């Protein structure tokens, strides 16, 4: 087993442990309507309907928030996540999920086939965020939406940004290519959605505290 395989296994195990974390205890700062992570996620995910594609679905942390009537399709490149994800899906009453090993840059779905795409803490890790968003736009039906929750680069010149920039190489190696200083908000604004609405807030995490969450609508 090589180092990358060991890292992927460990990351999958870590993400599965995080499924059991009490997200009500993760507080948010500067978020108008929510004071904890669980309540924000509930608000973003619980009313989704139809065919929902989740990119970078990890170990299935979001199943507890969805309505089980949705048709859930997941894309997850790390094969070691898959069993954890399937177990979590079953625990939360999802018996008919469609899970693919793949990447957001090459979605194995037809044009205009999906009502909603969900991305939670994924655009920081994809190899090519611009291409991933073009793929999301391709598979979304007209009027479909991308629901996102992402950590972002802090404003340049701030201590947090200096820390993000200097720690980035180690951070990427430790957390499976997660970029702590990615300007995801700009990438979303320039992707070609009809509208992008998002709220800024901070999570009580070191380095990756600045966050955005919101909805981008395809014309």
Ligand X SMILES: C[S@@+](CC[C@H](N)C(=O)[O-])C[C@H]1O[C@@H](n2cnc3c(N)ncnc32)[C@H](O)[C@@H]1O
Nearer Cβ to ligand X (91/194): 91
Nearer Cβ to ligand X (104/137): 104
Nearer Cβ to ligand X (104/191): 104
CB 47, min distance to ligand X, A: 18
3-class secondary structure, 38: helix
CB 85, min distance to ligand X, A: 9
Nearer Cβ to ligand X (179/218): 179
Does position 126 bind ligand X by CB under 6 A? yes
Which among 130, 144, 118 has a CA at the least distance from the CA of 186?
130
If binding means CB under 6 A, how many residues of this protein chain bind ligand X? Answer: 21
- List 77, 144, 210, 214, residue binding ligand X (CB under 6 A): 77
Is-contact 179 187, C-beta < 8 A? Answer: no
Which among 141, 148, 193 has a CA at the least distance from the CA of 45?
148
Which among 172, 176, 180, 179 has a CA at the least distance from the CA of 207?
180
Does position 58 bind ligand X by CB under 6 A? yes
CB 129, min distance to ligand X, A: 9
Q: Per-residue contact track with ligand X, 180 to 219, x per CB under 6 A?
A: ----------------------------------------
Alpha carbons 216 and 32: distance in angstroms, whole number: 19
Nearer Cβ to ligand X (76/185): 76
Does position 87 bind ligand X by CB under 6 A? no
Q: Which helix or strand (DSSP H or E) is residue 12 part of? A: helix 3-18
The two structure tokens encoding residue 75:
């894309």
The two structure tokens encoding residue 2:
């090589």
Choose one: 28-36, 88-96, 125-133, 206-214; the region binding ligand X (CB under 6 A).
125-133
Helix ranges restricted to H, 63-205: 82-91, 129-139, 159-174, 184-189
Does position 109 bind ligand X by CB under 6 A? no
In Å, how far are 7, 10, 78, 134, 213 from 185, measured between CA atoms? 28, 29, 25, 15, 10
Does position 52 bind ligand X by CB under 6 A? no
Choose one: 123-131, 161-169, 189-197, 205-213; the region binding ligand X (CB under 6 A).
123-131
Quickly count helices (H) and strands (E) in the chain.
Answer: 6, 8
Query: Residues interacting with ligand X, by CB under 6 A?
Result: 15, 55-58, 61, 75-78, 81, 103-105, 120-122, 125-127, 176
């Amino acid at each position: 087993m090589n180092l990358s395989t060991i890292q992927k296994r460990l990351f999958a195990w870590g993400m599965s442990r995080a499924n059991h974390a009490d997200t009500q205890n993760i507080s948010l700062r500067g978020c108008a309507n929510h004071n904890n992570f669980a309540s924000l996620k509930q608000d973003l995910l619980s009313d989704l309907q139809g065919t929902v594609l989740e990119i970078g679905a990890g170990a299935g942390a979001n199943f507890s928030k969805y309505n089980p009537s949705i048709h859930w399709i997941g894309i997850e490149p790390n094969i070691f996540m898959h069993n954890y994800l399937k177990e979590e899906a079953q625990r939360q009453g999802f018996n008919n999920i469609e899970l693919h090993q793949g990447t957001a840059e090459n979605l194995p779905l037809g044009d205009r086939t999906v009502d909603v795409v969900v991305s939670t803490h994924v655009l920081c890790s994809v190899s090519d965020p611009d291409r991933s968003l073009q793929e999301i736009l391709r598979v979304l039906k007209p009027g479909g939406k991308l629901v996102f929750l992402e950590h972002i680069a802090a404003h340049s010149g701030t201590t947090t940004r200096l820390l993000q920039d200097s720690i980035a190489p180690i951070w990427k190696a430790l957390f499976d290519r997660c970029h702590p200083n990615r300007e995801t908000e700009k990438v979303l604004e320039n992707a070609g959605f009809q509208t992008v609405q998002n709220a800024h807030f901070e999570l009580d995490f070191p380095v990756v505290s600045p966050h955005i969450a919101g909805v981008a609508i395809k014309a």
